[in-house]
Amino acid sequence: MKKSIYIGFMALIFGTLISCSDDYIIGGEINETNKVDLSTFDLLSRMEETAVVATLFEKAGLKEVVNGDVTVVAPNVWSVNRYLRRRYNQELRVNPYAPAVTIDDISSEELKQMGMYILPGKIWRETIPEEGIQLKAYDGTEVFMSVDKTNIDPGTAWDGSGTPGWGYQYSNFMEEVPYLVHIHFKRGRSWEWTDQERTSLSNYYDNPECDHVYRMYVSDILTNNGVVHVLYEGDYNYTDHYYYHSLFFFGTRQDDLL
């Protein structure tokens, strides 16, 4: 039996229907396999969640790199929007008449950081060892990829004592608890392997030394040249959440609002 690719809240809708089938969900659509007859760049360009990210890879001069034998752990449109909102709010504090910030305002120097989302080789659930794998991204960023059995979504309701509400667990919607791909970005001089280590830092997730760990919004898409994963999505209503990625880790939660 194939393991389905679970995509955020879409898993709650389709999980019970396809968990024992040979179908996969890619970009919200059912696909017979986890393979697509497209290059990595073309796939990113065609998915609504990542079209702007493809544009940023191209602006960074990384299109050919993306279409090599690589794995792309892509941010998404919400990651980009969060970056733009944070940067705009910073500028508004200095100049209340500042023009809106767009992707055209991202400097070529800053775009070099798009390399943090490109990993060597084809890294997906069939090639990630049980103990996980440590890698160095195209720009030198150190990352750790793993596949973990996860019974809750990070945005689910909690019972007030640190335990996720029982009714929100994946096992209530699926025939089996999914294994989800995670990525751990090392951001400082040392790894913080546990949530306790990360939250022990001052301002923890807003601290530039603090590692960030994400599960995928979509994972394990095999393209004609490589593999694509997409980082977990967020939206404007959850700006106080730690779970949602801001492009390049830009700004802090205070920058989500003026």
Q: Which domain holds residue 95?
A: 34-256
Asked whether residue 4 is domain-assigned, the answer is no
**Residue 9 counted as domain residue:** no
Q: Is residue 16 part of a domain?
A: no
Q: What is the per-residue pLDDT for 15?
A: 31
Q: How far apart are the C-alpha atoms of 148 and 215, rounded to whole Å?
A: 9
Q: How many CB atoms lie within 10 A of CB 113?
A: 18
Residue 22 forms part of a structural domain: no
Strands 70-74, 227-231: pairing is parallel
pLDDT, averaged across the chain = 84
pTM, two decimals, is: 0.84
pLDDT digits over 207-228, tens only? 999 999 988 888 999 999 999 9
Q: Domain tally for the chain? A: 1
94-106: per-residue pLDDT in tens? 999 999 999 999 9
27: in domain: no
Residue 190 covered by a domain:
yes
CATH number at 245 reads 2.30.180.10
Q: Is residue 203 part of a domain?
A: yes
**Is 8 domain-assigned?**
no
Average pLDDT over residues 110-136: 97
In angstroms, how far is the first alpha carbon of the chain from the final one? 50
**Low-confidence winner among 11-20, 118-127, 161-170 (lowest mean pLDDT):** 11-20
62 φ, ψ to 5°? -110, 15
